[in-house]
Amino acid sequence: MTLTRRNIGLLLAPLLAIVMWWLTDGLEPQARKVATIMVFCLVFWMTEVIPLSMTAFLGVTLAILTGIADVNTAFQNLGHPIILLFIGSFLLARSMTRHGLDKRIALYILSRPVFQRSLFSMFLGFSLVSYLLSMWVSNSVTVAMLLPLTIGVLHLIQEPESGKSPAPFFLLGIAYSASIGGVGTIIGSPPNLIGVNYLAKEGITIDFLQWMIMAMPMSLSMYGLMLLYMWWFLKKFSFSAAGIQAYVAEHTRSQPPISKGEQITMWVFLLAVVLWLSPGVFNLLGMEQAYTFMSTYFAESTVAVLAALLLFLIPPGQENGGEGTLTTADLVKIDWDTILLFGGGMALGQLVVSSGLAGLIGTGIISFVHPGQQVLLVFVLVTGVIFLTEVSSNTAIAITFVPIVIGIVNQLGVPELYPVLGVVVACSMAFMLPVATPPNAIVYGTKQVSIEEMARAGFVLNVLGSFVITAWVLFFMSR
């Protein structure tokens, strides 16, 4: 048998699963089963033995067959609102691609001098938008909105003679920027709100500005390191500003007048952006009733589905035979593999929590730390959460680990605020696997980023995140 990566996975997955089962003899039966299944699935994900989405479903199916969960509980995450957000966002992106709006916008962006100075300056523009926008809009929405624009620009970049493309680093950088930017505000990521609510129960109240003062230094530090890291990769690729300028000028002249389909797509896109942004704006302005109304009736998933429905309902003129801006044929052209991947991944993440495995891991991580070793305590907590979030929902990890951390630091006599802050921020710093965060899954769905590239780049940023968050937490605690 040829020793391919797939064959290695087929051999290694059951072997490591058996080892995990043997090592976890002291765990509760449910937690032991989930740990074994997660190791098996992790090897399959890393070696891509079968499509990633099918690996997630394999894990859920094994959980049902081993009695960990019933079928209704195991698969209920397939109806999670974030799945609807994926579908609506992908259909919106499909409409942009089908009618050429993404290329038109890409040409406009590239025609700006500031984006034509270097390959990195082009990346910086997209990355900065992703970073800033994710503070107010969910990370997945941010990346989904930027993705068609980025793909349009990448199609205009001529690959060097080596045949390698900067696309993976462009796309990874945008996904990472969204995850890093999301920690900057309370509303930027669900774990932030979870941490604030748990602290409030302990009598520690944090307002919007206080969170930004504490979290933004961590966020900016990680963003700066991520930019330097991506610059190191992007500088290796050739870039001809004159060539891009000539290419853009030629294609801009050859662009047909904007079509009805482009206009409809653009207005629906803008409507979706406004509705996605509105809750954050109202919350920032202190308009509580408007914020509650928008959050209740125009949740992110609802807006995404509404935008998709409008594209199917509104015809782009007679040239389309009276059909909508999107048609039935477009439904099969969106990335269902990524959608199913995240649904199955969330189901597995829920099993990690419900089985008690996450709590056991958290207790084990801190059991060997001496009360006086604050540096080690914080570093172990932050690092453990960052890598655990790679295989489970960051929201689920926050829900599970924040109360554990509060209980531990109370017992050790350590102030609660900053260790909890570090753990909450760490929940958003998972960069290695597609299943770890929606931004990772979305860019993986473009088929331009391999799982090896994401794992290699993400591991370095995971390690950097551990040190950056630990350093800031210790700095705050020393004041």
- At residue 258, φ and ψ (nearest 5 deg) are -60, 130
Cβ atoms of residues 169 and 230 within 8 Å: yes
| Model pLDDT, residue 2 | 58
**Digit-coded pLDDT (tens) for 394-404:** 776 777 677 77
Least confident among 117-121, 324-328, 455-459: 117-121
What's the pLDDT band for 219 if we cut at 50, 70, 90? very high
pLDDT at residue 161 in the model: 52
Can you spell out the DSSP letters for 23-68? Answer: HTTTS-HHHHHHHHHHHHHHHHHHHTSS-HHHHHHHHHHHHHHTTS
For the chain, give percent helix, strand, coil, nearest 5.
75, 0, 25
The DSSP string of 348-360 is: HHHHHHHTTHHHH
Please choose, from the candidates 10, 140, 4, 158, the residue with its C-alpha nearest in 3D space to the C-alpha of residue 83.
140
471 band by pLDDT with thresholds 50, 70 and 90:
very high
| Residue 201, both tokens | 């129960």
**∠ at Cα 417 (408, 209), nearest 5°?**
160
Task: Provide the whole-model pTM.
Answer: 0.68
Chain Cα centroid distance, residue 361: 23
pLDDT band with cut points at 50, 70 and 90 for residue 62: very high
SS3 333: coil
- Specify the amino acid at residue 231: W
Is 297 in a helix, a strand, or coil? helix
What sign does the CA torsion over 402, 408, 410, 414 have? negative
The amino acid occupying position 289 is Q
The predicted structure's pLDDT at residue 45: 78
Dig out the tokens for 103 from the structure. 């290329």
**Gap between the Cα atoms of 348 and 39, Å rounded:** 12
Query: In 357-460, which ranges are E strands?
Result: none
Instruction: Tell whether the model's pLDDT for residue 442 goes beyond 70.
Output: yes
| Arithmetic mean of pLDDT, 202-206 | 77
330-372 pLDDT, tens digit each: 888 887 877 787 777 777 777 877 787 766 766 666 666 665 6
324 phi, psi to nearest 5 deg: -75, 175
Residue 172 is predicted with a pLDDT of 92
pLDDT in tens, 144-192: 877 877 777 777 665 545 557 788 888 999 999 999 998 988 777 778 8
Residues 218 and 320: their CA atoms lie apart, in Å, by 50
Read off the pLDDT of each residue in 193-210 and give the average, rounded to a whole number: 77
Residue 261, both tokens = 């389909």
* Burial group, residue 355, by CB count within 10 angstroms (0-12, 13-18, 19+): buried
CB 113 within 8 A of CB 411: no
In which band, very low, low, confident or very high, does the pLDDT at 216 lie, cut at 50, 70 and 90?
Answer: very high
Section 102-117 average pLDDT: 73
Pick left, alpha or beta for residue 364 (phi over 0 → left; psi -120 to 50 → alpha; otherwise beta): alpha
Is the pLDDT assigned to residue 322 strictly greater than 70? no
The yes-or-no verdict on residue 476 having pLDDT over 80 is: yes
Residue 460 burial class via C-beta count within 10 angstroms: exposed 0-12, middle 13-18, buried 19 and up:
middle
CA nearest 55: which of 42, 36, 73, 70?
42
Angstrom distance (rounded) from CA 281 to CA 346: 29
pLDDT of res. 319: 57
Of the two residues 78 and 380, the one the predictor is more confident about is 380
Q: What are the tens digits of pLDDT across the range 251-292?
A: 677 778 888 888 999 899 889 888 887 887 887 788 888 888
- Cα 232 to Cα 227: distance, rounded to the nearest angstrom: 9
Under DSSP, is residue 367 helix (H, G, I), strand (E, B) or coil?
A: coil
Q: Averaging pLDDT over each range in 163-167, 234-238, 350-354, 455-459, which range is the top one?
A: 455-459
**pLDDT attached to residue 272:** 85
pLDDT digits (tens, 9 = 90+) for 2-47: 567 788 889 999 999 999 999 988 888 888 998 899 889 888 877 7
pLDDT number for residue 101: 80
pLDDT at 244: 64
Answer whether residue 296 shows pLDDT above 60. Answer: yes
Residues 96, 91: Cα–Cα separation, whole Å: 9
Answer whether 430's CB lies under 8 Å from 394's CB: yes
85-89, 215-219, 459-463, range with the lowest pLDDT:
85-89
Q: What is the mean pLDDT of the chain?
A: 81
Q: What pLDDT is attached to residue 393?
A: 65
Q: What is the DSSP letter of 68?
A: S
Q: How far apart are CA 19 and CA 306, in angstroms?
A: 48
Tell which residue, 99, 129, 132, 136, has the closest CA to residue 115. Answer: 129
Structure-block tokens of residue 141: 């929405």
pLDDT (average), residues 135-140: 76
